[in-house]
Structures are given as C-alpha cells and as structure tokens.
Amino acid sequence: MSQDLTREEHLAAIKKADREYYELDDPVLADEEYDALRRDYIDKYGAEDLNYVPGGATGDFDKFTHPSPVTSLSKWTKGVDDEADLVKKVEELWPVVIQPKFDGLTVVAYPNADGSCRFVTRGLGGRIGEVLPNFIREYEGPGVNKSGYAVRGEVYITQENFAKMNEELMAHGDEPMKNMRNAAAGLLRRKERSPYVDYLSYVCYELPGEDVTPQEARQIISSHTEFKVTSMQELASPNSALEEIEAYYDALKLQNTIPIDGIVVKSGQRNSLEKFGFTAHHPRNGFAYKALSEKFVTVVRDVIWQMGRRKATPVAIVDPVEIDGATVTRASLHNAAMIKELGLSIGATVEIHKANEIIPQITKVLEPGDTEITLAVCPSCGEPLEEINGQQFCNNPACDERIAQDIAFVGSKDVLNIDGLSIETARKMVAYWKEQYAAVKPTYTILFSFTAEMLAKLEGFAEKSAEKLYNSITAASQDVELPRFIKALCLPGIGTDVGKILADRFGSIEEINQVIAEAEEPQAMLQEINGIGPKTAEMLTSNKFSMAVNMLQRHVTIAPYAKQEAPAGEYAGKVFVLTGKMAKPRSFYVELIEAAGGKEGKSVSSKTDYLVIQDVNSTSAKAKKAREVGTQLISPEELENMLL
Ligand SMILES: [Zn+2]
C-alpha cells in the first residue's frame, strides 16, 4: 500500500497509525501492515526519521530518567526474514533461552529503601519514562522489591479479565476497549485511579543494565521480589531452533490466556551484553521472533451500526469463519473512515485478521461488493448523524438512546458508581418516563427523580430490587467527589482527566465559577492550565456548562475537596519555536519539549522563551526578531542537553 506514497505521505501514514494505536486506542491498521509500512520506509529512506518512540512520554506525569536505557530487541519476522539468518543468530548467541514476548506496556519497578517501588514507563527512546501515579494494588506498598535492582516487566490484561471488564463497561453504557495491549496503557496512564487497574497483571523478566544471564535475572526476581516472573525454556539445538520457537509460540497461543506478540530469544552466555554490545538501537545479545498472524477470507453480508454514548460504530456481519476454534460472524470496522479507506461495500470478499483482539478486523478488500454502505440517520432516534473526523455522531439531545447511555455512564464505576444500574435499566427508565410524563422532556437527570415505587413498575423489577436500586442511587448522590461530579455533567470534551485537573486547581465548583467570572479572558486563562485545550475552555465558559452544573446540583451534593497543584518542572509551560534544518527530525525535538512540559510555538513573539536554531548567530528574520524580543537562541544540541 505504500508504493504510491511520497516520502512525506509515507511518514505521515506511519505517524497517523502511531497516534491511532497509542493515543486513541483505535488502531486502523493491522499490526503487520504497520510493520510493513515501517519496513518499506526504512528500506527507501533509512531509519533516521523514525528515530522516535511512538507513544512516548506525554507530559501529564512526573518524568523519570532511566539510569540505563530501557532497550527494545531487533525483530526477526517469519515469512519476511531469511530463515538461515535466524539459525546463524542462534548459533552466535548459543546457549539460548526463549521467553514469551508480552504484548503489553513496559514498566520498570525501581525499588525505594523500604522495598516499595516507583513504577516507570519506558517512555521516549527508553530514556525518559513517566512515573505512574497508580499501579496494581497488590504491588503498591513496602517490601515488594527487596532485590536492590530495578526490575523490568510487562503489564497486560488476560483474555478473561479483558472480557469481564468490557462486559462491565458495556453494562454501564460505556464503549468497550478494543485492544488488549492498549487496555494496560489506557488504564494506567490516567491521573485518577481507574477501578479496572486491578484487572491488570504484571510479569517481570529482566534487570535493566545488569549484565546477568536470563536464568540469573529470573532467580533474583523470584527470590527477592513479589513479582511474577516469565516462563523460560532452553533451546535444544541451533538447527532445530525455528521449530522449537514455533512450537513454544503455538503452545502459548493455544492457551490463549495472555496477549503475546512473539517470542524473545536471548543468549544464556555470561556477560553477553559486554560481549555482543549494541546496535544503534538494540542490544545484540538477543532478538524477538515475530510471526505474521493468520488471515482468513470471507464475505461481508451486512453492516450494522451500534450506538455508543454519542458515536455510532459500524460492525460487519460476515459469512461464518473458523478462527482459533471459534466461529466468527462479525468483524470490527471502528468507524466510517475505515469503510472509506478500505473501499468496503456489502457483498465484498474481504481478508480478515485476528491479532490480540476479541473481534477480528477487516484488513483488505479482495473483491468489491455491489451495495454501498450508507448511514444517514441514528439507528435510535432517526435524526441525521453528524460526521466529525470520520466518525458518526448523534447530536440530538432528545435521542432516547443518548439519554439512556448518559444515565448508564453516570452510574458507571468511574463516575457515581451506582450499583445495579445497567444500560438495559437506563433504557427502561427513559421509556417509562416518556410514557408517564409526556409533557416533561427527559434528560439524564431523570435518574434522580425516580422513586422506589416508579422503579418497581419497570419490567423485571420487584419491590425489593426497586428499593435496592433506589437506595444505591440515593447513596451515590451524596458527598460526590468533585472530579466525579464534573464527569457526571455529561458534557462533550469534559472527559476522564478534566474533572481531576479542575478539581486539583480550583477545589470547588464555586471557585471555578468565580475565577471564570472574574477573569478578563476566561478562555485564555483556562487554556494555560496543562491539559485544557481550546474546545474544553470554550465549553467551561459557556452557558451550557453553568446550566448543567445548576441542574446536577439540584440532585447531587459535592464533598469538600482538597486541591493540590502538581509540582512543575523547570521547563513546564515554556514556549519553544523551532526553525530551519536540524540534525534530527523535528518531531524528535518536539517530543523532547513536550516531555519536559514545554510547548511548541509557531512564530516568535515576546511569549517565546527559546528559539531553537542550528546557527545561533544566524541573521534570519526569525533570529533577529528573537533577539529583539529577548528570546534566548539555542542550538538543537543545547536543547537536547538541557532537556535530557
Ligand atoms: Zn439518536
């Protein structure tokens, strides 16, 4: 697919896929298509532009510089790379052990004096990670890592817990998570502890920077820490290496309990790090075996649309195919943009593929079909849907499904945590309300107007169960934490973190209102807060926000909140403008700046703190302007030294 692209388009396609995968939890490309895209790029243009780590530090959490870089292994891909090469590599590294390669989030546990740990992500280039504010409860507290070593492991979610979590999310009207790998990152990279963090597992396998054998690392981890340690197998002979690796991989795949995306192959020699050294990016004392995941061919018979809280998501109904012992009849399409990108129509013969996802995705159209896929109206209310960035939304505030989804959202664990309030119950509440109170248009706050008697009239409820739900609603509406209250407003753009950010900064709704009322430029003031963008600032200063607050305050009381401001780094909020040609890709420097809490500015003004320019003595217009307004001129090398 990359042959027809220009260099810029090709690079942009890779970055888009990075963003979809790491930031949006919404991957459009299959893993091997992504790998192929990168491989083709490197073949044509070299690896320099790709010298960044996708999903690097985001600037939201405290940074931590790894004393030894957290390295990644080079890959050997079955069906792409030469099999003789694999045998040769194994011979060099002999004796060799193999371990599962988990498809999760890499986290290093740095021990404190009391054996409690600081848990840090891999981050930018494996050098600067983020300190996770929350971790799996089992491993929080003292005495967990008494080894004295930093221990590297992988956080992942089991197939079973993934299904359980998604069931709960859907029962509350939330969208299920699509990808097991992203579940770990998505749950841990939140300021506020998600109730699902404890569904995650952590398994360890390495002591970063220590030149010990895999067996020694395993021994230290299992006897001096509370962490689980990965399984391991020694290979019998270099000549049967590929067979042995594949048998090991197949056995793990067959168990189908943990997400793996390959096999780690490591030298069991003493001092192997010193002996084999490093390439530019990878240690040479091991590599990762990757298998292309299997593909299946089927025919698309229909496309149905499932309504989430706002978004309509397309799902393809396909002719049944057997995959991993299960009959598959649905394939995920993610959004309307993907339908367009694939050129999909009903009747099309397609290739589908299943990685570590519950429902497989369509990766390619082999033969076009005959019927165009259309969606003009909301499947619930019949109003036209609005397309924003390739996604379809129902923006009708009177849409029954939307109201029901909001009710279930407010009841979910992350918001008011109302025990026993499912999406089905929410739908019944909306239907009952419309039947009984035709004159009063329902909104999600009808939830708080239901009495036990009213609930008892809903289908499937008896006096006792109605009483119980009524009591949970009443209890959940008292002394609500401020971040949860803000989330419960059900306003677009006021998502997971905004409530927490506002609460930490202002401490109360009254304070938020007052500060907004008194600010000369309230939107600009709000945007100076890290994590608040222009759309959110606009929403917070709108009538819609104050009306939603008033409405919810009639039903819900807020508990006092202790505000706290996060300590800011030296470069937090500083504005950097980059200009001219530089030794490394621009994106590399931008990521460094953002990781340090700084911002990239587009043009030089009195608000610019630094102009990054190769020749600091340049007489270009930008450089002159910078000197005029007192902006400091620094070279990219100085920038690196400053921020790394
Ligand atoms: Zn609708």
The answer to whether residues 314 and 348 belong to one domain is yes
Task: Tell me the CATH number at 504.
Answer: 1.10.150.20
The answer to whether residues 222 and 280 belong to one domain is yes
The answer to whether residues 307 and 453 belong to one domain is no
* Res 53: pLDDT: 45
User: Tokens standing for 36?
Assistant: 């192929």
pLDDT tens digits, 585-600: 888 888 888 778 788 8
| Binding positions for NAD(+) | 31-35, 72-73, 122, 154, 266, 290
16 is catalytic: no
| Preceding amide of 95 cis, omega within 30 | yes
The answer to whether residues 371 and 428 belong to one domain is no
Q: Which of 487, 515, 520 has the alpha carbon at shortest distance from 501? A: 487
Neighbours of ion ligand 1 (CB under 5 A): 378, 380-381, 394, 396, 399
- The active-site residue, picked from 63, 89, 101, 487, is 101
pLDDT average, residue stretch 267-286: 85
pLDDT tens digits, 189-203: 777 788 899 999 999
* Res 411: pLDDT: 94
Q: Sheet containing 575-578: which strands, arranged edge to edge?
A: 599-601, 575-578, 610-612, 632-634
**Rounded-to-integer distance, Cα 612 and Cα 601, Å:** 11
Reply yes or no on whether the pLDDT at 25 is more than 50: no
ipTM of the complex: 0.99
* Res 425: pLDDT: 94
Please report whether residue 558 resides in a domain.
no
The answer to whether residues 529 and 597 belong to one domain is no
**Helical spans, DSSP H, in 63-135:** 83-93
Domain boundary at 290, 313, 348, which?
A: 290
* Res 605: pLDDT: 83
The answer to whether residues 471 and 533 belong to one domain is no
Residue 325: pLDDT band (50, 70, 90) is: low
Task: Tell me the CATH number at 582.
Answer: 3.40.50.10190
Please report whether residue 55 resides in a domain.
no
Phi, psi at residue 12, to the nearest 5°? -65, -40
Reply yes or no on whether the pLDDT at 29 is more than 90: no
CA of 173 to the centre of ligand 1 (A): 14
CA of 498 to the centre of ligand 1 (A): 26
* Res 28: pLDDT: 61
Q: Which of 483, 565, 484 has the alpha carbon at shortest distance from 528? A: 565
641: Cβ–Cβ under 8 A, 6 or more apart, which residues? Answer: none
Residue 115: pLDDT band (50, 70, 90) is: very high
Residue 336: pLDDT band (50, 70, 90) is: confident
Task: Tell me the CATH number at 311.
Answer: 2.40.50.140
* Res 55: pLDDT: 46
* Res 376: pLDDT: 66
Reply yes or no on whether the pLDDT at 83 is more than 70: yes
Please report whether residue 324 resides in a domain.
yes
* Res 93: pLDDT: 94
Q: How many domains does the chain have?
A: 6
pLDDT tens digits, 465-477: 999 999 999 999 9
**Rounded-to-integer distance, Cα 301 and Cα 330, Å:** 10
Domain boundary at 290, 320, 352, which?
A: 290
Angle at 426 between CA 413 and CA 503, to 5 degrees: 35
Q: Which helix (H) or strand (E) holds 247?
A: helix 241-255
Q: Which of 377, 368, 292, 307 has the alpha carbon at shortest distance from 81? A: 292
* Res 23: pLDDT: 52
Indicate the SS3 state at residue 570.
coil
Please report whether residue 347 resides in a domain.
yes
The answer to whether residues 231 and 86 belong to one domain is yes
Domain of residue 608 covers: 575-643
Domain boundary at 553, 583, 600, which?
A: 553
The answer to whether residues 299 and 157 belong to one domain is no
Please report whether residue 57 resides in a domain.
no
Please report whether residue 26 resides in a domain.
yes
Please report whether residue 564 resides in a domain.
no
pLDDT, the chain, mean: 85
Please report whether residue 412 resides in a domain.
yes
* Res 308: pLDDT: 74
The answer to whether residues 108 and 201 belong to one domain is yes
CA of 376 to the centre of ligand 1 (A): 11
pLDDT average, residue stretch 238-262: 84
The answer to whether residues 81 and 204 belong to one domain is yes
pLDDT tens digits, 538-583: 889 999 899 999 999 999 999 988 876 554 677 887 889 998 888 7
